Structure 1
Amino acid sequence: MAAEALLRGLLVPHLLPERCYDELLLRFNLLHVPCLKILISKCLGIAIVAGSLMVKLPQVFKILKAKSAEGLSFNSILLELLAITGTMVYSVANSFPFSAWGEALFLMLQTVAIGFLAQHFGGRTAQGISFLVLYFALLALLLSPLVPQAVVTLLQATNMPAIIISRVLQAATNYHNGHTGQLSAITIFLLFAGSLARIFTSVQETGDPLMAVTYVVSSVCNGVIAGQLLYYWDMSAGVEARKKQA
């Protein structure tokens, strides 16, 4: 009884509502589709949030190792940050469960770091510091009660054009350079996989069509960059080899 109470305390309500705990673990009705969807969605959401702790670290480490952000479009980084911030602020304002949006918090921190490094290694450290100060001041304002719900919804609605433009800018930079520079393949492929999984979890956990469509658009755009990474793989490797020889 003590073990059952402990298990119930761990799973309810974090992974399963009470009725689904009883259905799946007490009655062993493992084919109960609504409860299975909830369980799969919660597990996927937690996995995405956990993975987001490290998803952009390969990109950060690659920039630090090369002491260069060559191949990264700063404008693309800014637009991606706008999209991530919109998702985070919108989710907090609507009290969505953390498992439905938590990766946005960690992706935001890592994207801000990449933005600063892009400025720093581009010889614009002062601008990089200004970027950090202005961004966090704006974030504090957006998360405060001073901002109307209509503005928060509008911010989320700008996600789709922001994502599309950011990826078009990055794709254009890759095409112009003929390689993907310091873009991390691990980061891009993890972002692609995460956005695909988020389509299901956003439908299941939030029921918000705006969130779901945003992740569909994000998946398509991330897929384009992932495709470029594969296409330019040998060329990017050649650029790296020539740099080492030089």
Structure 2
Amino acid sequence: MEPLRPLLVPFLLPERCFDEFFLRFHLLNVPCLKILLSKGLGYGIVAGSVLVKVPQVLKVWGSRSGGGLSLPAVLLELLALGGSASYGCARGFPFSAWGESLFLLLQTLTLLFLIEHFGGRTARGLLLVVGFGAFLGVLVSPLTPLGVVTLLQGLNLPIIVLSRLLQAVTNHRQGHTGQLSGVTTGLLFGGALARIFTSLTVSGDLLLATTFGVSAACNGVLLAQVLLLGGPRDPHPKKE
């Protein structure tokens, strides 16, 4: 079993759990099973996050419109994702604990540019993307104290609530969810629920777990709107 050690330790199992499973054959060791489940689930979430917002991006691209999507909500979501990614990186947490924030950030940046581009504001879209990239670079650099990154992570709670609230209000006012993707919203809801468990098990960070709990609740509200209100009746009405 020793050849398996470098493959599993420390990516999926700590040394003590490898010994419990493969040397002592205690296959029902509950604490180690929790670690294995949480890390496996964490890597699965990170892998899945590569495609989470692809349905949303494709929906905007296909309709050539970001109608119904709140730009302030997207900007706030970017700030929250940047805080989560930089916090996990600065605290030295395993990539499985925060990696999806990085992939979601890249996809959200793409979505931001498309909303601006199809709204006839391509130059402003490019400026926002470059500006946020510079901000993120400073955030993860040694120039930024850990306390600042921790503060930003703590602000994720009100940022996430405000971001989802803005989108929910936009949906309510227009009577439909516009180009908001039900698939992406559902995946974000499920991923946030799973992240509560992995945050408590892998990193033991209550701040991260609370943030994901709030995110799950807010995404649940948007998912309910998608199911109840549906998409736009006609995103490109014909002129009489």
* TM-score, normalisation: structure 2: 0.96
**Residues 56-97 of structure 1: CA distance to partner in whole angstroms, max 9, x if unpaired?**
011111111110001100000011111111001111111011
> Does residue 94 in structure 1 map to residue 91 in structure 2?
yes
Q: Give the whole-Å Cα distance in 1 for the aligned partners of 2:6 and 2:147.
A: 38
Q: Give the whole-Å Cα distance in 2 for the aligned partners of 1:32 and 1:138.
A: 44
Counterpart among 39, 55, 64 of residue 36 in structure 2: 39
User: Which residue does the alignment assign to 2:234?
Assistant: 239
**Residues 9-43 of structure 1: CA distance to partner in whole angstroms, max 9, x if unpaired?**
21111101122112123333222110011000001
> Does residue 120 in structure 1 map to residue 98 in structure 2?
no
User: Which residue does the alignment assign to 1:193?
Assistant: 190
Amino acid at match of 2:170: T
Q: Give the whole-Å Cα distance in 2 for the aligned partners of 1:148 and 1:29.
A: 43
Offset of 1:243 from its aligned partner? 4.9
Amino acid at match of 2:152: L
Amino acid at match of 1:239: D
Unaligned stretches of 5+ residues in structure 2: none
User: Which residue does the alignment assign to 2:144?
Assistant: 147
**Residues 120-143 of structure 1: CA distance to partner in whole angstroms, max 9, x if unpaired?**
111111110110111011111111
Q: Give the whole-Å Cα distance in 2 for the aligned partners of 1:207 and 1:186.
A: 30
User: Which residue does the alignment assign to 1:134?
Assistant: 131
Counterpart among 32, 57, 68 of residue 71 in structure 1: 68
Amino acid at match of 2:112: G
Offset of 1:238 from its aligned partner? 3.7
2:52 aligned counterpart, secondary structure: coil
Q: Give the whole-Å Cα distance in 2 for the aligned partners of 1:131 and 1:63.
A: 18
Q: Give the whole-Å Cα distance in 2 for the aligned partners of 1:110 and 1:143.
A: 19
**Residues 111-165 of structure 1: CA distance to partner in whole angstroms, max 9, x if unpaired?**
0000111111111111101101110111111111111111111111110000000
* TM-score, normalisation: structure 1: 0.93
Identity %: 56
User: Which residue does the alignment assign to 1:179?
Assistant: 176
RMSD: 1.7
- Structure 1 stretch displaced more, 141-150 or 188-197: 141-150
Unaligned stretches of 5+ residues in structure 1: none
Aligned length in residues: 240
